[in-house]
Structure 1
């Protein structure tokens, strides 16, 4: 997001969401499992931003695969860094640390049922999707108000981005996981305009 094309005012702010890159350990359900970025993940993240991007602050999930990159950006660009625990990924409970094939073998149709409608099934010992949605959207609203009028880089997770976009676009939670893709290092830009008529939220870009 450049200053020329996306200049905020006192009543306008931007959340520039970026999903973390590939973590160490390969594909699996991680959730709250705290793996760092792999070498490939670091390359993905660094390639996803450019010198023309301008932010006023960096906000991050506390998990390593987000926080370490956020710290690098904040340090390199001399920006304030904020860590928000409620922007951590959804907990997959007993599924964490397991591959899709391992979950299919042990839990059968539960995995496909989860992808079809995460409101209909919660992984054993996992976090219900409606509770996840509430904590993420509450955190997003809090920081949008706290850093109003600023450009905020938010380094977070695929599930977190899905919840924030579901809120902005009024996507039913039942379609929040299957409705759109959020690959590694994917960026999504949300604009907030506050006026006497209330708060207008708009998705300006997804996937760029």
Structure 2
């Protein structure tokens, strides 16, 4: 009987050019030198049989480098892009605070109802990320998969896989170049670890 246990490691990209203080969402910034170093350091062991990445450069460039070193192809999935922040795209937290000192705090309390103008609805975002996860385990059962993506994507997996409420997602800290590790078996995801700085 074939192995039906699938392991998925999600790795957030490292620091982008310009640092992490702004809402870049789907802006396609590359990794900084520090970001490259963070990601190379995070991947000490390389147990994966497949690498899947967000198509955004801060994820894709490292995924392609690692895949070349391991002799693996990279699969890009548009559904693994970061959540769209609408009017906040490209703006720093300081800039938003200057416009309205209460806005960010209110957003953290109600990230579902107080989306920035034009932002992707959080429920839609979780649905697209969840669909990508389900496709992965359906098509690649029994493999060890590395997914290189974004903090928002990793939070969306918490919602999809574990039922974390949408309004609690921004209470989950996801650092640059940190891992979450899941097992999928018998139709269920199990979180094995979160916040790992190295594998």
* Residue segments in structure 2 that go unaligned for 5+ positions in a row: none
In structure 2, the partner of 1:49 is 43
State how far apart, in whole Å, the 2-side matches of 1:80 and 1:159 are: 24
**How far has the Cα of 1:99 moved from its partner?**
0.6
**How far has the Cα of 1:159 moved from its partner?**
0.2
1:149-188 matched pairs, under 5 angstroms: 149-178=142-171, 180-188=172-180
In structure 1, the partner of 2:58 is 65
Give the one of 28, 34, 49 matched to 2:22.
Answer: 28
Q: Which 4+ stretches in 1 moved above 6 angstroms?
A: none
Deviation per CA, 1:58-95: give whole Å up to 9, x if none: 00000000000000111100012100001000011111
How many pairs align?
194
SS of residue matched to 2:170: coil
SS of residue matched to 1:34: coil
> TM-score, normalised to structure 2's length?
0.94
1:77 aligned onto 2:65: no
**Is the Cα–Cα contact under 8 Å of residues 113 and 120 in structure 1 kept in the other structure?**
no
**Is the Cα–Cα contact under 8 Å of residues 23 and 89 in structure 2 kept in the other structure?**
yes
1:206 aligned onto 2:194: yes
Deviation per CA, 1:117-155: give whole Å up to 9, x if none: 211211111111111111111111111211111000000
1:135 aligned onto 2:128: yes
State how far apart, in whole Å, the 2-side matches of 1:17 and 1:24 are: 21
Over aligned residue pairs, what C-alpha RMSD do you find? 1.1
In structure 2, the partner of 1:148 is 141
State how far apart, in whole Å, the 2-side matches of 1:148 and 1:30 are: 33
> TM-score, normalised to structure 1's length?
0.90
State how far apart, in whole Å, the 1-side matches of 2:194 and 2:154 are: 10
Deviation per CA, 1:140-181: give whole Å up to 9, x if none: 111121111100000000000001012222210000112x21
Give the one of 177, 185, 194 matched to 1:193.
Answer: 185
Give the one of 10, 20, 28 matched to 1:17.
Answer: 10
* Residue segments in structure 1 that go unaligned for 5+ positions in a row: 1-8
**How far has the Cα of 1:108 moved from its partner?**
4.2
